[in-house]
Amino acid sequence: MSSILKQGHLDGLCLVYAVANAFKALKYPRRSASWFVDHQSHVWRKLVSVTPSLHNFVSGEGSAFELSTDSADVLVKERLLELYAAVIGERKREEYEARRVPLEELSSAIGESSAGLVCLRTSVETGSCTIGEHWVCVVDADQEQYYLACSYTDHLVKGGEPEHTRLSPLLNRPFNNTLPKRSVNKTSVYENSVYHFRVAY
């Protein structure tokens, strides 16, 4: 078990990481995370610069905006993801789009120019560990499971050992966790937190 605190232990930036992982999966799937930090850190800075209530994210509350109604919370997250897509596209030839889709359309939201974003509920059993209240990027899918780029998996697996990143079978994108399709339903995924994130050529 690790004795050192790491990013993610205390902050709630998983939504921002999920969007950054979606962008990386679409544009630079073969590049390392270190390369991304060295060459694309401006994307991270853009995402952080437009994040409202940043103190909520950094203090561990994450994307909980303390709104009184579920519908208002859904609308705020939808607008935030649309804003993230817009700022990622600045200074690039492509435009990006984040669009909320029904849970049943998650598989079809993943393709050559797109990935999925979902928020898992409390205590969801993934292929590597139990995760809860956490945004992940879905980089690929087959008949049995979804392939996840998860910013927190390596904190939970075997006491914080380094992640074992592999390439997904269909789209050859890096992933570090899986989610069985049979377990994806309204009790494991927040119904209004399923997004299609794509490059809009």
Who's near 89: CB < 8 A, 6+ residues apart?
A: 95, 96
Q: pLDDT tens-digit profile of 20-76?
A: 999 999 999 999 999 999 999 999 999 999 998 888 888 887 775 555 557 788 888
Position 37 scores a pLDDT of 93
Q: Judge whether residue 155 has pLDDT over 70.
A: yes
Domain boundaries, the chain: 14-200
Position 66 scores a pLDDT of 54
DSSP 136-189: EEEEEE-SSEEEEE-SSHHHHGGGTPPP--EE-TTT--EESEEEEGGG-STTTE
Position 142 scores a pLDDT of 98
